[in-house]
């Protein structure tokens, strides 16, 4: 089984890079299933029904969320009807789920969406939720399990890797929009602290720099805006799974000028 993961899609620039490149990448790399994080897909905040349909039409199979899941209220009924997840450790009674099982290449693949704690809304314990959910999936005979860990703190992401390595196929971080350079495979688990955004690459975390700079210079907050024009990037992790273990992983950085950088995961012996 070969799966791919795209981090935070930021507005139209991110959506356009996926539309321009994903189907070709699926074909050339033989990808069976694509997961992407949608929480910034509609002008940087949440996702609309229109953009959900647009992204599924590009070749994405399932999408995960985060703290901005609820910014567009029209997503709430979609959590029940489309392959959309929200963080699984929101309290009981919150619409939707953060764990779904899919049939991929004749096998079961579980996608689990977990949200961290530092700087995030109040949610149930991320580590206990992930640990217990993975145990339940394993009892059900699901061997391939991928986790999108939506968190600000790199320490939380690394701690989750230490907790679950060898038990899941992959753990990859989202939320900061800044890609990290620590992709590895350990005990059959692919890990990356943050995959980085897909969208504008020449501003501040995919947003026009005016408001962030004003905030840093004066302390006065404003509304972030996704630029209409910018230099764009698509960041994708591709993992090959065998009996639930990741045996190979690569990160693709595809630029709008036609360049592509591919980095192999470091294999821990």
Domain boundaries, the chain: 2-267
The pTM for the full model equals 0.96
pLDDT digits (tens, 9 = 90+) for 41-84: 999 999 999 999 999 999 999 999 999 999 999 999 999 999 99
Cα→Cα distances 257→73, 230, 234, 261, Å: 36, 12, 11, 12
Residues with a known catalytic role: 68
Helix (H, G, I), strand (E, B) or coil at 20: helix
Residue pair 100/65 in contact by the 8 Å Cβ criterion:
no
Q: What is the CATH number of domain 2-267?
A: 3.60.21.10
- pLDDT > 90: percent of the chain: 98
Cα→Cα distances 2→31, 39, 136, 153, 238, Å: 5, 24, 23, 28, 7
Can you give the pLDDT at residue 66? 97
């Amino acid at each position: 089984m070969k799966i791919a993961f795209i981090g935070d899609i930021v507005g139209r620039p991110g959506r356009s890079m996926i539309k321009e490149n994903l189907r070709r990448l699926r074909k050339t790399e033989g990808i069976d299933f694509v997961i992407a994080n949608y929480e910034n897909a509609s002008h940087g905040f949440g996702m609309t029904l229109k953009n959900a349909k647009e992204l599924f039409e590009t070749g994405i199979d399932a999408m995960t969320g985060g703290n901005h899941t609820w910014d567009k209220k029209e997503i709430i009924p979609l959590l029940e009807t489309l392959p959309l997840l929200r963080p699984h450790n929101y309290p009981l009674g919150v619409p939707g789920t953060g764990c779904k099982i899919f049939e991929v290449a004749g096998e079961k693949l579980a996608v689990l969406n977990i949200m961290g704690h530092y700087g995030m809304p109040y949610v149930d314990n991320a580590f206990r939720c992930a640990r217990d959910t993975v145990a339940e999936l394993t009892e059900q005979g699901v061997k391939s399990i991928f986790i999108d860990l939506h968190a600000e703190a790199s320490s939380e992401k690394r701690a989750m890797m230490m907790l679950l390595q060898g038990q899941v196929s992959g753990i990859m971080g989202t939320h900061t929009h800044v890609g990290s350079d620590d992709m590895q495979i350990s005990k059959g688990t692919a890990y990356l602290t943050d995959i980085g955004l897909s969208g504008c690459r020449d501003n501040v975390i995919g947003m026009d720099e005016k408001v962030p700079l004003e905030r840093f210079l004066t302390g006065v907050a404003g509304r972030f805006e996704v630029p209409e024009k910018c230099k764009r990037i698509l960041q994708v992790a591709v993992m090959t799974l065998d009996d639930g273990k990741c045996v190979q992983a690569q990160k693709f950085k595809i630029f709008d000028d036609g360049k592509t950088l591919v980095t192999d995961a470091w294999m821990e012996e």
